[in-house]
């Protein structure tokens, strides 16, 4: 007669049997109806940032992350470069290195490291800007008609001019053909020293 072992109830508890999944990240962009100038063959919707603020935050985050990764790699490269530049002459270790030799090498490496990393930071910032502008210049930002987006006024003027020249009425706006977004380069502006409109 075999004895039955009572089940360990801990193995069936919620903490043991449920697998938690990480909370999904909110979408950076949302689908909006396409505008009149858009290519209708691409579909009725396009992805756009909800607000200019979300666009700017994403652009800044892009630059920050790329710059950080670039500087991390540069720090390693500069360390190796400084070590190679400041190592003693090949025959010096054969006759023995003094404490002053080690001190001199340490000072040399600090100077070379600082110089190399200073130059790398400038290059990394330029590299990050170039990469992010290349992606974000064509990104779309939804026009906020209700909250008086300054670009909305320009779009309304453009629409009024178009409607008058084409003899269109308010049916044009009701049909969903109104401008619903603008390109990211309008927000990036002339403050960037790269060719964002090319």
Residue ranges covered by each domain of the chain: 42-191
Burial code (b: 16+ CB inside 10 Å, e: under 16) for 87-106 equals eeeeeeeeeeeeeeeeeebe
Residue 36 in tokens: 């009149």
pLDDT per residue, tens digit, the chain (198 aa), is 455 655 676 677 777 778 888 888 778 889 988 876 677 777 888 899 999 999 999 999 999 999 999 999 999 999 999 999 998 887 777 787 788 888 888 999 999 999 999 999 999 999 999 999 988 998 999 987 665 555 544 554 444 454 455 444 444 444 444 677 888 888 887 545 554 444
pTM for the full predicted model:
0.65
Residue 81 in tokens: 């470069």
Q: What whole-number distance in Å separates Cα of residue 59 and Cα of residue 147?
A: 22
CA dihedral 157, 162, 168, 173 (to 10 degrees): -50
Q: What is the pLDDT of residue 197?
A: 41
Q: What is the pLDDT of residue 19?
A: 82
Q: What is the pLDDT of residue 149?
A: 56
For CA atoms 47, 51, 52, 53, the dihedral sign is negative
Q: What whole-number distance in Å separates Cα of residue 38 and Cα of residue 53?
A: 24
Q: What is the pLDDT of residue 16?
A: 77
Is residue 78 within 8 A of residue 120, CB to CB? The reply is yes
């Amino acid at each position: 007669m075999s004895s039955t072992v009572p089940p360990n109830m801990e193995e069936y508890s919620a903490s043991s049997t449920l697998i938690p999944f990480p909370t999904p990240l909110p979408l950076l962009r949302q689908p909006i109806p396409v505008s009149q100038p858009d290519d209708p063959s691409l579909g009725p919707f396009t992805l756009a940032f909800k607000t200019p603020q979300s666009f700017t935050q994403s652009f800044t985050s892009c630059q920050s992350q790329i710059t950080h990764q670039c500087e991390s790699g540069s720090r390693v490269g500069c360390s190796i470069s400084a070590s190679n530049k400041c190592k003693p002459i090949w025959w010096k270790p054969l006759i023995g290195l003094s404490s002053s030799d080690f001190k001199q090498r340490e000072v040399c490496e600090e100077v070379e490291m600082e110089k190399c990393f200073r130059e790398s930071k400038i290059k990394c910032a330029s590299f990050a800007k170039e990469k992010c502008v290349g992606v974000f210049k064509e990104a779309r930002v939804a026009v906020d008609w209700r909250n008086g987006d300054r670009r909305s006024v320009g779009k309304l003027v453009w629409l009024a001019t178009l409607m008058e020249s084409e003899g269109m009425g308010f049916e044009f706006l009701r049909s969903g053909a109104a401008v619903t977004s603008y390109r990211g380069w309008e927000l990036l502006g002339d403050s960037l020293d790269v060719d964002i409109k090319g």
